[in-house]
Amino acid sequence: MERFFRLAENGTTVRIEVVAGLTTFLTMAYVIVLNPQIMAAAGIDQGAAFVATCLAAAIGCALMAFLANYPIALAPGMGLNAYFAFAVVGGMGVSWQVALGAVFLSGIIFFLISVAGFREWLINGIPLSLKLGIAAGIGFFLGLIGLKSLGLVVAHPATFVAMGPISSPPVLLGCAGFVLIAGLVARRVPGAIVIGILVTALAGVPFGLTTFSGIVSAPPSIAPTFLQMDIAGAISLGLAGIIFTFFMVDLLDNAGTLIATTHRAGLMRPDGSVPRLGRALMADSGGAMIGAALGTSTTVSYVESAAGVQAGGRTGLTALTVGALFLLALFLAPLATAIPAFATAPALIFVACLMAHSLKDLAWDDSTEYLPAILGAMAMPFTFSIATGIGLGFIAYVAIKTGAGRAREVHGAVWLIAVLSAVKFALG
C-alpha cells in the first residue's frame, strides 16, 4: 500500500487517508438517496437504480484510486441526472434505455478525448467565466426541480409559476429540513446533508408521510437496468445534441473538480497544470461508461472530495475508502428507497445553492465575461434544458466579444462549440 499510493511521499498515512475517505463519503452520501429517486422519475426501477448508484460510485472511485492516485471520489452527477430524467426522458420523450445509450456514447467520446492531446486544448480553451456560469446554471436547474418536488413552486397558467400551499405538512417539513441542513453545515457537522434528509424523513412518520419497512437487507436486483442501454437507438434517433451535452458537462465538471481539488491538496504544479490529468480523465470517462452499463446517468468527480482533502487526504487511498463505503451502503436499500420526496427536496435545494456559489468568482468588472455566463445560467432553468443554456452561453460569448471588438480573445474551442450550438438551434 505504501509503495502503490506513495503515502510517505505525499505526507500522509493509512489512518489519515481512511478518515479523509469517511469524511468525503459523509459529505456526498446524499446521492445514494437522491439519485435513485431522480432515476425513478425517468421510469427506472428505483431498487435497481440504488444498486447502480452504489456500484457506479464504488467502481469510479476505484478507477480514480488506481489510475490517477488522487483523493477524488466519483458518483452519478447531480444536475446531469436531472437533465437525464426531466429534460431528456420526460421532456423529449426519449426512453430511458436510449438515454443510457447516449450517456455511454458520451463516455466513449470523453475517453477518446482523454487519451489524446485534444483534451488540454478543449479544457484550457473554455474561459473560466463560462465554466462558472455552467456550474451555477446547473445549480439553478436543480433548485427549480427541488422547489417543485417540495411543492413550494407550482405551475400557474398566468404567471407560469407560483407559490404552492406552504401550510401543508410536507412543505413545512421540507422547509424545516433545509434550515436544519444549512445550520449543520454552518456548524461544520460532517454528513450534514445526510443527517438533514434522515431527520426530515423521520419527522414525517407521525403524519403518515414516511413509512419505513426496515433499514438493512440484501441489495435489490440490478437486472432491470444492467446492460439495458440502447446504443443503437441513441445513434438512430440522432441524439447528437444530447450526447454532446452529457459530454460537455461531464468534461467541465471533472476538469473543474480536478483543478480545485488538486490545488487545495497542494498537488498542482507551479505552472498551474495538473499532474496525471489524462489518467484522471480516463477514470472519469470509464466511470461514465460503466455507470451507463449498470443503469444510471453520468458518473462524475465530486467537488465534495475537497472535504476529504481538508481532512488530510492526499492519495488514491482516500478515493478507495469512499468506494468501499459505497459498497457497504448497498445493504441499506430499505432505508434509502423509503425516503420521501419532501425529505430529499431540501438537499437538492441546498446543493443548488452550493453550485450557484461559483458566480462569486466571475469577473464582474468585465461585461464581456459575466454577461454570457449569466445568460447561460439563467437559460437553463427557464428553458428547462442544460443543453440550451450551454449553447446560448457560448454563442453569447462569441457574439459579445466580437461586438466589443475583442474577437481575438475568443479561443478556437469556444468558436467550435458556439458554431455547433448555433447549427443545432437553427435545425431545431
Rounded distance between C-alpha atoms, residue 386 and residue 92, angstroms: 13
Q: Name which residue leads in pLDDT, 343 or 183.
A: 183
Q: What are the cell numbers at 215?
A: 433499514
Q: What is the mean pLDDT of residues 21-28?
A: 80
pTM given for the model: 0.73
- Residue 161, classed as helix, strand or coil, is strand
φ and ψ at 300, to 5 degrees? Answer: -135, 165
Decide if pLDDT at 352 tops 70: yes
Q: Name which residue leads in pLDDT, 293 or 264.
A: 293
Sign (positive/negative) of CA torsion 108, 67, 126, 145? positive
Rounded distance between C-alpha atoms, residue 250 and residue 88, angstroms: 16
Decide if pLDDT at 117 tops 80: no
- Residue 361, classed as helix, strand or coil, is helix
- Cα angle 254-137-200, degrees, rounded to a multiple of 5: 90
Residue 61 has what pLDDT?
Answer: 94
Rounded distance between C-alpha atoms, residue 213 and residue 47, angstroms: 14
Averaged pLDDT of the chain: 84
Is residue 105 within 8 Å of 235, Cβ to Cβ? Answer: yes
For residue 160, which amino acid is it? F
* H-state helical runs in 329-411: 333-338, 341-356, 367-383, 386-403
| pLDDT band (50, 70, 90) for residue 264 | low
Using CA atoms, how far residue 127 sits from 256, 373, 420, in Å, is 12, 10, 17
- Cα angle 256-259-265, degrees, rounded to a multiple of 5: 135
Rounded distance between C-alpha atoms, residue 237 and residue 232, angstroms: 9
Instruction: Give the other-Cβ count within 10 Å of 419's Cβ.
Output: 13
Rounded distance between C-alpha atoms, residue 159 and residue 102, angstroms: 35
Rounded distance between C-alpha atoms, residue 73 and residue 83, angstroms: 21
* H-state helical runs in 151-219: 169-186, 192-203
| pLDDT band (50, 70, 90) for residue 272 | low
Decide if pLDDT at 270 tops 70: no
Instruction: Give the other-Cβ count within 10 Å of 179's Cβ.
Output: 12
Q: Report pLDDT digits (tens) over 70-103.
A: 888 999 987 778 888 888 888 888 899 999 998 8
Any bridge partners for residue 301, and if so which?
Answer: 74
Q: Taking the mean position of all CA atoms in its chain, how far away is CA 130? A: 17
- 252-256's contacts with Cβ under 8 Å and 24+ in sequence apart are 252/126, 252/131, 252/134, 252/135, 253/77, 253/79, 253/80, 253/135, 253/300, 253/301, 254/280, 254/281, 254/284, 254/300, 254/301, 255/123, 255/131, 255/281, 256/131, 256/135, 256/303
